[in-house]
Amino acid sequence: MGMASASFAQAPVTNPPAPEDRAAEDVISIYGATYENISGINYDPNWGQTGHGQVNPAFDPGTGQVILAYPNFNYQGTDFAGNPFNASAMEFLNVDIWVAEGTNRMVKVTPVDNSGNGPSEVLVEVPVTPGSWNSVSIPLESFTGMSMQSVFQLKFDGQFNADGSANTTPFDIYLDNIFFWKMETTSENDATLSDLQIDGETIPGFDPDVRNYTLNLPAGSPDVPQITLATPTNENATVTINQASGIPGEASVEVVSENGENERVYTITYIGSIPGEAPPLQPDRNPMDVISILSDAYTDIEVDTYSAEWDDSDFEFVTVAGATTMRIDFGNFIGIDFQSNRQDMSDMTHFHMNFWTANDTFDKSFNLKFSEWGGTDGEVSAFEYSLNNASNPPLDEQGVWVTVDIPLSSWTPINAPNVVRGDVAQFVITSNLDVVYVANMYVYREGSVSTEPGETPRKFELGQNYPNPFNPTTNISYSIPQSGDVTLEVFNVMGQRVATLVNGVQSAGSHTTSFDASNLSSGVYMYRLNFEGASQTRQMLLVK
């Protein structure tokens, strides 16, 4: 604290009143002389704030007793990531604050929590009268939903006018006596619960001092969990239960101490963050036309790992309504590695995946990439597809199973002029969607599918060739409702037959055949399917 004092146009010339004596177990102090402060505090972490490098935790207002000065303040924080603490047993956050007379600004504060239970931060206004010290104790319930189980930073934000409108012009503030505290616990002022049960069972992780809980439940579930028991530690305390009305929703228990001087609210947030139904059924496909990474519908290839050592995400296999899914908790990306079982995807036409997330998809992304190793020991090229709010399909739904079925010809090649798929060793998903459930990840060759899962087609149909335009090969798919004589022929624009692709009896179902036009010149060609006296014709374009 040997930093020299900065010169201010207007600064306090007194210290705030000293806070009252409290037992050590009732206080967690960040700054001040009354209580013992925690160790390992950085009062000026570099967060890009205007006042970085000017903070003075030893500013003397002329009394010989130092205070914390934030000159040129727009926002500022303290960091004690090396010594985080559990503040869930505390009841208030105290801040003494001074701003110059005539300062028409609003200051907000929030603890920053990295426990993963509830929001990490919630900014709350600190009431300020300019020109004098303001001693403010903010109830921790004001930081709605925060668990306070692992507080590792504290943040002040001053980018607001007094009416709440935005204003980023820096100004000066002074602070003292920053600490969490709780009332001395006696039987008469005890407002804790000794047990909290949901549907007859104690809520997971229940602790009398933890007031915020989040339960992840199947989305769309018609059964809203009920608080069935809330037992006060002091049986003379008053307990009021407020049930949630739906999912998502929030239930709460209000506890008022016997003497009426202390109140505590326990909040249970229900989030529909688990799929409530199985992913869509997949159609019957010829096993030779599918390379499956994860699907109950097909035989999966042998995968070395579904989370490579170089990725930063976690996963687990979970069963949703009887179907196998992969729950991914994204850091940034996850890598599915099958380099010991590389796949030739050169004649596959599409990639398929189903995914589900409960999180808001606005301004989010879901990027897919296959890594091509080209016979070497590492990636030489890749092909990728990015899903976002403007893509096709758009990333614009939450709480439902989204089907992604993308032609591989639409993917963007990386480090290669064309998409190469002959020696694929890895599949990588990069996303900022937090938790995502995925299922039915596979590539397939178009045209090898029945109309409905487990059923044969009920109509005679000729599909559009794929790819189109093509050079020099393309695939043509068609379906017939029953076995019979089939011919599939190709004609030029003069009506001359240039190829016969199928000529004979075929069974009911979907079929795909390949057409090689290596010996033909560029141009438009017609292909015609004949079946039991009926025919259909389509055209295709050969570009060389």
Question: Dihedral (C-alpha) 459, 286, 440, 361: value to the nearest 10 degrees?
Answer: -50
Question: What is the C-alpha separation between 311 and 307, in angstroms, rounded?
Answer: 7
Which residue, 130, 153, 181, sits at the end of a domain? 181
At 447 the pLDDT is 63
Domain extent, residue 149, equals 24-181
- Is 479 within the bounds of a domain? yes
Close Cβ partners of 378 (under 8 Å, ≥ 6 residues apart)? none
Which residue, 274, 300, 335, sits at the end of a domain? 274
Q: Are residues 63 and 161 in the same domain?
A: yes
pLDDT tens digit sequence for 347-400: 899 999 999 998 888 889 999 999 999 999 999 999 999 998 888 778 888 888
At 248 the pLDDT is 81
> 410 by DSSP, 3-state: which?
helix
Q: What CATH code is carried by the domain that includes residue 172?
A: 2.60.120.430
Amino acid at 133: W
End-to-end CA distance of the chain: 75
At 321 the pLDDT is 86
Question: What is the C-alpha separation between 518 and 512, in angstroms, rounded?
Answer: 19
Q: Are residues 346 and 435 in the same domain?
A: yes
**How many structural domains is the chain composed of?**
4
- Is 6 within the bounds of a domain? no
Task: Dihedral sign for Cα 218, 86, 91, 256, please.
Answer: positive
- Is 453 within the bounds of a domain? no
> 101 by DSSP, 3-state: which?
coil
Q: On the CB side of 503, how many CA atoms lie within 13 Å of its CA?
A: 5
- Is 18 within the bounds of a domain? no
Q: What CATH code is carried by the domain that includes residue 469?
A: 2.60.40.2550
DSSP β-bridge partners for residue 305? 337
At 272 the pLDDT is 82
- Is 211 within the bounds of a domain? yes
- Is 19 within the bounds of a domain? no
CB 513 within 8 Å of CB 476: yes
Q: Are residues 255 and 336 in the same domain?
A: no
Q: Are residues 33 and 78 in the same domain?
A: yes
- Is 3 within the bounds of a domain? no
Q: Is the pTM for the entire model greater than 0.75?
A: no
**Does residue 248 have a cis peptide bond before it, meaning omega lies within 30 degrees of 0?**
yes
Close Cβ partners of 182 (under 8 Å, ≥ 6 residues apart)? 26, 89, 90, 91, 92
Q: Are residues 329 and 470 in the same domain?
A: no
Q: Encoding tokens for residue 515?
A: 């057409």
Which residue, 274, 298, 327, sits at the end of a domain? 274
Q: Can you list the residues of the chain whose pLDDT is less than 50?
A: 1-7, 448-458
Q: Are residues 407 and 485 in the same domain?
A: no
